[in-house]
Structure 1
Amino acid sequence: MEEPGRRRSVRLEDIAQRVGVSRSEVSRVLNNRLREGRSVGVEKQQHIRRVAQELGYQPNKAAQNLAQGRTDTIGLVVEPGGDYELSPHYHEIIGALTGTLSEFGLQLLLHSWKDNAADSLAQLARARSCDLLVLTDMRTDDPRPALLRAMNQPFVIRGTALEPESLAVGMDNHAVGKLAVEYLAGWGHRRIFFQNIGRDFRAGEGRYQGYLDACRGLGLEQSARYEDRVWGEEGLYAYTRSLFTQPDPPTAIFASDELGALGVLRALSDLGKRVPEDVSVLTCLNARFMRRILPTTTTILVRQHEVAAEVGRTVGRLLSGEPVERKQYYLSPLLEERGSCAPPAA
């Protein structure tokens, strides 16, 4: 029974009765599911929308989504590390995506996989619980895009795509690798140690190619050193110490992320090496909160928050029906100088 004094919400039947058409026809017009050659004409469609507005009709979002096959949910597919830990850059990605998607009335679902990406992703796609999936941390032989295409599951890549027909938004990692070498060489360094994320990642391969191009252009092929099999704070701590037991140790070190840079700085401190007087240190800033931990370390900003926000806007426009060209979009890295680099010691 309707409560006294409480206004009943306007139903599709009310609009249908006022206009003189069926309830189903009103539903099709208001949900933009018109049948070519079988729906009411343009004037009647306009009449339906006008009456709906006059009566103050508010669509039931859940019912509308059910009718349209929509969930208004976007899935972010992540790969956790040991003990299901997420790297600092996910802090930026999740925050930016959640905020940007909410502006389009969309919500974010976090989906993680541990052992078998293909099986986990196929299960998610079959459930049809997401309108679109966002893939991140792309591998050089990543099977996920082909799998999702075969299952007719829409997706957008946060990173570098494997194929030109994929829609992707990412950081120009070739530019990151090139900038790191050129910046340190600009201070006069030739014995540069470049630590990279694994080349099995598209980002790592991009940085490696940028590193090679810079070394060739500057004649550093023999003096620069490269490594991508060591990572993390403890890994870089031990490796940095080992570098200074060898002839011609580096005068400048590039660490691929903040945790690696912490290991480098600890090792140099334990070795009695001053930064930047004895050794210059450069790293990438993936998470903005890490500035508090590395306040005086010069960084290359890979703009994780901005990349993820642009992914969110792209997804929102796509699901709103706006035309979006399916191609690779890149943001460029930015350099933030904070005093950890200087000319090599005489």
Structure 2
Amino acid sequence: MTDVAKAAGVSQSTVSMVLNHMSGARLAPETRARVFEEAARLGYRLPRRDGQPEPQAALAGAGGAGGAGGAVPRTVIGYLVDEISTSPHPVVSVDGARDAAWEHGCVLAVHVTRGNTAQEAATLAALAAHPGLLGIVYSTIFTREVRLPEPLRAGHLPVVLLNCHDDELRRPAIVPGEVGGGHGATEHLIRHGHPRIGFINGEPWMEAAKDRLKGYKRALATADLPFDPALVRDGDWMSGSGYDATLSLMREPRPPTALFCANDLMAIGALEALRQLGLRVPEDISVMGYDDQEISRHTHPPLTTMVLPNYEMGRAAVEALLGLATGQIADTAPAGRRWLTKIDCPLVERESVRRR
């Protein structure tokens, strides 16, 4: 499957959909033809195991009424998230999951539980009773460790964790590569000649804040630059804390020549504080954000930032769920190993960073 996907330039799940002749998968005829062509060239043959259903039969579901053969095609993906209205990030993840599901002939059923355990249990019970349910994407608004509800721990349904992980990292989980993102942002500033970089972090108890700080420290260490705690401030992800932290950092005896803010909103607060101090960005000081929110394109100057890959994470979660449903990947990692996929946070260069 990996070889065919690489040769055809598609995902492993797409290869599975094509070779298993799954009905309802909305794939271009050219894509199907390319997969079959590369599979034939590589000598691929669909494996059959005596006594075991074909992968497409497993997806069609067992029991229940409906369809000419009595089986109901499993084309519904349940998507549970604890919150969706207080941040733009989970909405973008839903978009990615929806698009990936639709490309494979599935629909996404989104349910917001707001952390209410009773509502979560009732939602899972209703989804489990749906004869067309393929599996569950279990998502959280911020990256954290979770304890899955009992119906999902039982293992009767394929489940993929999105933006969260279980305590042993044994369940399939998709999270952002925050350490790499923090490293990439800091490294970009170092490459532009800034050895003294202030870091305005989010709430320190959150995994995202811990990992972005870890990336910041690692980039400094890689460049043989000392870590100075006097250059770090904790914020709360809001613009006001970015404003206050910037004023505090610029009062240091040796103020930074660049600021790395752990999200774009705090970077906007930093830009306002620097403007009130009479400092020009990027001529006098450079500013780096994180998240690539829409507003970062419209600041003065436009903000250099790191992408939080919510859309790609949503797509990856559905791709992994399809892999579970077709038996391409195991639903738990082997003992002593971890099942965790980190999606890269790429750099977006705009105009708020200048070489010294």
TM-score w.r.t. length of structure 1: 0.68
> Which whole-Å CA distance do the structure 1 matches of 2:217 and 2:90 have between them?
28
Aligned to 1:177: 182
SS at match of 2:105: coil
Q: Does 1:193 align with 2:198?
A: yes
Aligned to 2:312: 306
Q: Which has the larger radius of gyration?
A: 1
Mapping of residues 143-154 of structure 1, within 5 Å: 143-144=147-148, 148-150=152-154, 152=156, 154=158
Contact 2:212 2:262 in 1 (8 A): no
Name the amino acid aligned to 2:66.
Answer: A
Contact 2:323 2:329 in 1 (8 A): yes
1:156-211 Cα shifts (integer Å, max 9, x gaps): 12235343321122322111111222221222323322223344443333223222
Q: Does 1:74 align with 2:86?
A: no
> Which whole-Å CA distance do the structure 1 matches of 2:112 and 2:311 have between them?
20
Deviation for aligned residue 1:293: 2.5
Mapping of residues 81-230 of structure 1, within 5 Å: 85-114=85-114, 116-128=115-127, 131-137=135-141, 139-144=143-148, 148-150=152-154, 152=156, 154-159=158-163, 161-162=165-166, 163-217=168-222, 218-222=224-228, 225-230=231-236
> Which whole-Å CA distance do the structure 2 matches of 1:311 and 1:91 have between them?
14
Aligned to 1:323: 328
Aligned to 2:302: 296
SS at match of 1:76: strand
Q: Which has the higher contact order (CA 8 A, sep 6+)?
A: 2
Deviation for aligned residue 1:99: 1.5
> Which whole-Å CA distance do the structure 2 matches of 1:213 and 1:137 have between them?
26
Post-superposition, which runs of at least 4 consecutive aligned residues in structure 1 deviate over 6 A? none
> Which whole-Å CA distance do the structure 2 matches of 1:66 and 1:157 have between them?
31
Deviation for aligned residue 1:101: 1.0
Q: Does 1:340 align with 2:352?
A: yes
Aligned to 2:239: 233
1:280-315 Cα shifts (integer Å, max 9, x gaps): 11112344x445424722122233222222222222
1:16-65 Cα shifts (integer Å, max 9, x gaps): xxxxxxxxxxxxxxxxxxxx69xxxxxxxxxxxxxxxxxxxxxxx98359
C-alpha distance 120-268 of structure 1, shift in aligned 2 (>3 A):
farther
Aligned to 2:267: 261
Unaligned runs of 5+ in 1: 1-35, 38-60
Q: Among the aligned pairs, what percent are the same residue?
A: 28
Deviation for aligned residue 1:252: 1.1
Deviation for aligned residue 1:75: 1.3
> Which whole-Å CA distance do the structure 2 matches of 1:134 and 1:107 have between them?
16
Contact 1:252 1:280 in 2 (8 A): yes
SS at match of 1:159: strand
Unaligned runs of 5+ in 2: 1-50, 53-63, 332-338
Q: Number of paired residues?
A: 281
